[in-house]
Amino acid sequence: MSAPRVVVFDYGSGNVHSAVKALEAAGADVRLTGSKREAFESDGLLVPGVGAFRAVVDQLRSSGADEVIDRRLAGGRPVLGICVGMQVMFDSGVERGFDAEGLAQWPGVVEKLDAPVLPHMGWNTVDAPAASALFAGVASERFYFVHSYAARAWPLDASGPFAAPQVTWAEHGERFIAAVENGPLWATQFHPEKSGKAGIRLLTNWVDTLTAH
CA dihedral 31, 128, 77, 68 (to 10 degrees): -70
Q: For this structure, is 213 an active site residue?
A: no
Q: For this structure, is 38 an active site residue?
A: no
CA 125 – CA 42 distance, rounded (Å): 32
Catalytic residue of the set 83, 95, 111, 172: 83
The one-character DSSP state at 30 is E
Catalytic residue of the set 95, 111, 181, 193: 193
Q: Which of 2, 1, 19 is nearest to 10 (CA)?
A: 19
CA 177 – CA 167 distance, rounded (Å): 7
Let me know: does 9 contact 37? Beta carbons within 8 Å: no
The one-character DSSP state at 144 is E
Output the DSSP codes for 92-131. Answer: EEEETTEEEE---SEEEEEEE---SSSSEEEEEE-B--TT
Which DSSP helix (H) or strand (E) runs through 5? strand 5-9
Please name every residue paired with 176 in a beta bridge, in sequence order, or none if there are none.
Answer: 170
Catalytic residue of the set 120, 147, 172, 191: 191
CA 206 – CA 4 distance, rounded (Å): 11
Q: For this structure, is 191 an active site residue?
A: yes
What residues act catalytically? 83, 191, 193
